[in-house]
Amino acid sequence: MARYFHTATLLPDGKVLVVGGLDSAFGASSTAELFDPVTRSWTFTGGLTTGRAGHSATLLTNGMVLVCGGFDSNGAALGSAELFDPMSGTWSSAGDLNSARSIFTATLLPQGTVLVAGGMDSNSNALDSAEIYNKENGSWTATGNLNTGRRQQTATFLPNGKVLVAGGVDSFNVSQSAELYDPASGTWSSTGNLNIARYLHTATLLSNGKVLVAGGTDNNFNTLATAELYDPATGLWVPTGNLHAARNGHAAILLPDGRVLVAGGLGSNFNALTSAELFDPVTETWTVTGSLNTGRYFYTMTLLPAGRAIAAGGNGSNFAAVASAETYDATSGLWTTTGNLNAARSEHTATLLPDGKLLVTGGFDSQGNATSSAEIYDPVSETWTATANLNIERSEHIAILLPNGRVLVAGGNDGNLNVLSSAELFDPAAGSWTLTSNLKTARFFCAATLLADGRVLVEGGFDGNLNVAIGAELYDTGLGFRPDWQPQIETVTSPLPLGGSLIVTGLQFKGISQASSGSFQDSSANYPIVQLRSLGSGYLVFVPVDPVGGWSDTFFASASVDDFPQGPALVTLFANAIPSDSKFIIVTGPQGTPTPTPSATATPTATPSATPTQTPTATPTATATVTPTVTATPTPSPTVTPTPSVSPRPLPTPRSRPTPRPRPTPLSVQGRFTVRAMEFQPSFVGHKVNQ
């Protein structure tokens, strides 16, 4: 059929979908047809609900085609959108644009969303508005059960792509066992036992690939000073130097220089500790460093992009939640107070966002009530600003930054001992929360880990009957692509010195389609976009391509990588908004530059064992800090190991809570358009998208 102002989109099966346009009588057509390059013939397929021309057509990650906007036979701009399913050859509604428009652009972003911008309205006025289409259909699926049900365990992503779960509390006892989850088979297998059963401990992935477990509480309610190292190569735990102070409910992070900072927690006398210490993985000894200004436990500690650590909230010396926050400078070894949180909270979560700011959500307030409030810390101004509230009050939940830049919050306890199955997504650009699919099992005190393929593993915890859960489940963001559509990374540069170029080789870097309208306003997505994500802090950037080295279907060379945190990191390549599986690398200092060794406050190695002591009757719990996943990287240079994974800590014995407030009915999850301010960057060069 003769037509113009139509669209033409290459489908994954190699056929070309042509849609709409003006026919020979200048009417907006609703017809669509497919070109088969094998037979060189055209065949009609299902027609649009609304005839249109001057519209856009975008191939989504799930293989469907989004057609939106355009103008009708009377020249009126359209706001409707439709989805074409190549499998059935049919169209369905995809919601409406916020502004009817025609002759505009539509761009598939790396997150799988579509940016619609500009165009003109029914009066031929040029539009300055922009909006984003998002098909949110994330879902949870059950995976293999743990060998031992447990709560308040730690979960650590290993360089080989497996997840190590250790310790915690089973139905009656503190556990000494550990097990490994294999994402490929969806099964758990036992590995070596801890030397000492423990919970309320921390687990940190070191740059040498081993996992450091420190402190916690044993089966006799003694607070521990012991520490041990897990070697994935042997599957065994080996005792290492003791902490100077026995502690549980503390926090631990990997610093850029490879040392581990441990601070705060509950001491042997149930006192909120101010002390902090550093573990050196080379000497396997602990050194005392500067003390916190405020003793705290069940708080969050996060590494900021500039290399400082921030400790926020938690329970203080009187067991009540505090609003204070402070930052640690690894060079001076000192803590400095920073702006207070707007609301005191403990057992909350803290997640580093793509722009380098820190999102804090939920937790218990100073009266012991679960809160729905959320706030964002700006490291530049050192201030906290309230953002949109969660849909549901929750504490002891999990929060994790997804590869698309959104934050997934799931499960927890509403403060009235109602265990939650609900989950929601925070969009940093819109500053809003949207309910997503519920967990299969309501749970709190569970652990969560981002896997190399972008899915989230959640396991263990207390279920809705306050029994220890043995089940595990996976969250899929719902991009819906087939595995054979994915770009494949084969090798990456590792170690990557700052100032050097990141070289990536593999397959299908040009994607499976141009993924766009094929019109004069085409916005192609068939080229590689490479994302670099720090495992220590979640700091994330899209690295620009080297104008000389360039890229091909099997090769990508970046411009100089500067101002990125040293240490373990993940590399992900996107083509047609479809991500590759992530690969693990180590980022080092500039070539020829010695690694700086931060100063510490006195007292070398640690003292032996801890003084046994009974834990408080009400044991508050800490935030589950989740660590991203990666797969082992076949790199030309020596491969080093990833970063730490701090895991969830337990919570207090239930306090009496007020009568539960009614919870909102979950919204249906479907594709929708959201308005965006018209602010463009010419490319993704230098755009920061962290965790």
Q: What pLDDT digit, counting tens, does each position of 418-460 carry?
A: 999 999 999 998 899 999 999 999 999 999 998 888 899 999 9
pLDDT of the residue at 88: 94
Q: Residues 6 or more apart from 547 whose CB is under 8 A from it?
A: 559
Which parts of 549-671 are beta strand (E)? 555-560, 567-575, 578-579, 583-588, 624-625
pLDDT of the residue at 429: 87
- Phi/psi of residue 484, each to 5°? -75, -5
pLDDT of the residue at 136: 65
Residue ranges, the chain, pLDDT below 50 = 594-672, 674-691
Where exactly are the structural domains of the chain? 7-134, 487-580
Nearest to 268 by CA among 313, 311, 225, 297: 225
Q: What is the CATH number of domain 7-134?
A: 2.120.10.80
d(CA 113, CA 108): 6
Residues 300 and 625 sit within 8 Å (Cβ to Cβ): yes
Partnered with residue 227 across adjacent β-strands are 214, 240
CA distance to 9, 217, 342, per residue, from 116 (Å) = 17, 54, 36
Q: Is this structure's pTM higher than 0.85?
A: no
CATH of 487-580, picked from 3.90.180.10, 3.40.50.300, 1.10.10.350, 2.60.40.10, is: 2.60.40.10
d(CA 587, CA 2): 56
- Phi/psi of residue 79, each to 5°? -110, -5
pLDDT tens column, 133-155: 887 667 898 999 999 999 999 99
Neighbour-count burial for 7-45, b at 16+ CB within 10 Å, e otherwise: bbbbbbeebbbbbbbbbeeeebbbbbbbbeeeeeeeeeb
d(CA 571, CA 320): 41
